[in-house]
Amino acid sequence: MPAINLLAAAIIVAIVALTYPASDSVNYVNVSKDIIQIGISFLIIVIAHRLVKDRGSYLLAHLGFSILFLASVDELMRDLFLSGPALWGYRVQDLMWVGLTLVGFAIFKRTKALTESEGKYTALSSQYLDLLEALPEGVAIGSLDETITFANEKFAKILGLEEKDVVGRKFIDFVDPVEVNRILGQSKTREQGMPSVYSVRMFSKSGERRIVRVSAVPKMNGHGKVEGVISVVTDITERVKSEEEKTLQEREKELYASLLQHDLGNDLQVILGYIDGVRMLAHGMPDPAKDMLESAQAASVRMANLLKALGAPAQPSDEGIGPFLERIASDCEKANRGLSIEINADKGTRNLKPTGSSLLPMAFENIFRNAAKHAGHNPIINVRISRHDGSLSILISDNGPGVPEDKRSKLFQRGHSKGRGGLGLYLTKQILSACGGSIQLRTIEGVEGAAFEVTLPLEL
């Protein structure tokens, strides 16, 4: 559009220059003023063309300045040439008031639009700030040099400060000094227009270390250039501490298990060696003594197997539930004098394989030992294996006095050590739960003793 104004001015100059002679007395002061006025008008046309985005205001302003531009050219021609009114019969300068009116109306229209837009922007900005304040996470907005220009209350609380004490300071002022270079590196990433997520150690007003996760994105200006950074800051101190404590506990458990395996394992091997030696040397030993040695040996072997299981990862077993329980029952009968365990399996269930772990034998050993302890003399345990949909049901009952009513509700609780139950049944429940199974105390018609139902999912 500015090119049309220049073309029109050039045509006017060419026509006047070819048709009319130059004036005898040129007022060069007026000519200079005319040229300056032409330059200013044309420059304003170019600026309006590039900056005014409202189409209605732009057209009015462009038309108005174009009239002013042509009027200035007309005035210049009249100062330079003896054209008079002969060429066009009227003076373009007379239309200058039209141009000024159009320009004035365009400025008014644009100002009104900007005022309305500014009002909407102010309302939007207020809602935007209210939203940032209401967020449960800390929010900090800053420039590329890490100066904080806005911080919500949550971010200030992480540092133990008020919002006014945070704004104007640099983000790195609150960061562990060893982290500063990494933060500055993150700022370089933001300058390139890329977001990132990272964790950093900060210090509160009281000097307490806080660990935060920062999700930072570039803040763009109206021209699409990066002018700052918007950071969402989440305090993860307690989570990290919990994870560190959990890691420490796991390490302690591993160390404890290693010590158990090493020290107790060695001691058990010594005991087993002594038992074998006694059995070899004691010829003509009475049967009760032989039974006691066999029980001691079985108990020691069980403990050795248990220590081995504690230190070994879970391995899939090819053993069916029937042989699995028979093996455990045999070991328990040897370790507990007078104990008798009968195992019966429904048709097709003997070789089914339950989902389990290396600690699963310990669960059934606890149940069998618990019955041997509380069922009186010559305890008898009956085991019935059946299948229900995708699970195995193992019903274990004994011929003892049963579980007293006042003990039933706390039977599987940790620390309930008086009477039937205690840590053994608590651990049994935990092991079975870890395998995806469960254990419940049942009441069976015709059975006076305790009855437990164990369910285990079948191996896929």
Phi, psi torsion values for 178, nearest 5 degrees: -70, -15
pLDDT one-digit tens code per residue, 206-254: 888 888 988 888 888 777 788 888 888 888 888 888 887 787 777 766 6
* Co-location of 229 and 270 in the same domain: no
Q: Is the dihedral of CA 76, 81, 82, 85 positive or negative?
A: negative
Assess contact for 71 and 11: CB atoms under 8 A: no
* Co-location of 29 and 121 in the same domain: yes
* Co-location of 328 and 453 in the same domain: yes
pLDDT for the residue 187:
81
* Co-location of 161 and 198 in the same domain: yes
Average pLDDT, the chain: 75
Assess contact for 295 and 287: CB atoms under 8 A: no
pLDDT for the residue 121:
45
Assess contact for 203 and 209: CB atoms under 8 A: yes
Name the DSSP class of 459.
P
Which one is predicted more confidently, 83 or 343?
343
Which one is predicted more confidently, 239 or 299?
239
pLDDT for the residue 124:
44
**pTM as predicted:** 0.41
Q: How far apart are CA 176 and CA 174, in angstroms?
A: 7
> In sequence order, which residues have a C-beta less than 8 Å from that of residue 325 and are 6 or more positions away?
343, 364, 383, 385, 394
Assess contact for 70 and 8: CB atoms under 8 A: yes
pLDDT > 90: what percent of the chain?
8
pLDDT level of residue 21 (50, 70, 90 thresholds): low
* Co-location of 144 and 30 in the same domain: no
* Co-location of 145 and 213 in the same domain: yes
Q: How far apart are CA 242 and CA 267, in angstroms?
A: 36
* Co-location of 7 and 106 in the same domain: yes
Number of H helices, E strands in the chain: 14, 10
Overall domain count for the chain: 4
Burial class (CB in 10 A: 0-12, 13-18, 19+), 59: middle
What is the domain-level CATH number for residue 192? 3.30.450.20
* Co-location of 277 and 200 in the same domain: no
pLDDT level of residue 343 (50, 70, 90 thresholds): very high
In this structure, which amino acid lies at residue 80? L
User: Above 80 in pLDDT, residue 356?
Assistant: no
Rg (alpha carbons) of the chain, rounded to whole number: 47
Give residue 18's domain range: 2-126
Which one is predicted more confidently, 1 or 80?
80
* Co-location of 177 and 248 in the same domain: no
Domain C-terminal end among 281, 312, 343: 312
What is the DSSP pairing of strand 209-220 with strand 438-442? unpaired
User: Does residue 265 lie in a domain region?
Assistant: yes
Mean pLDDT of 68-82: 68
Q: How far apart are CA 384 and CA 101, in angstroms?
A: 104
pLDDT level of residue 439 (50, 70, 90 thresholds): very high
User: Does residue 105 lie in a domain region?
Assistant: yes
* Co-location of 338 and 448 in the same domain: yes
User: Does residue 375 lie in a domain region?
Assistant: yes
DSSP 349-390: TTT--B---TTHHHHHHHHHHHHHHHS-SS-EEEEEEEEETT
Q: How far apart are CA 353 and CA 330, in angstroms?
A: 19
pLDDT for the residue 128:
60
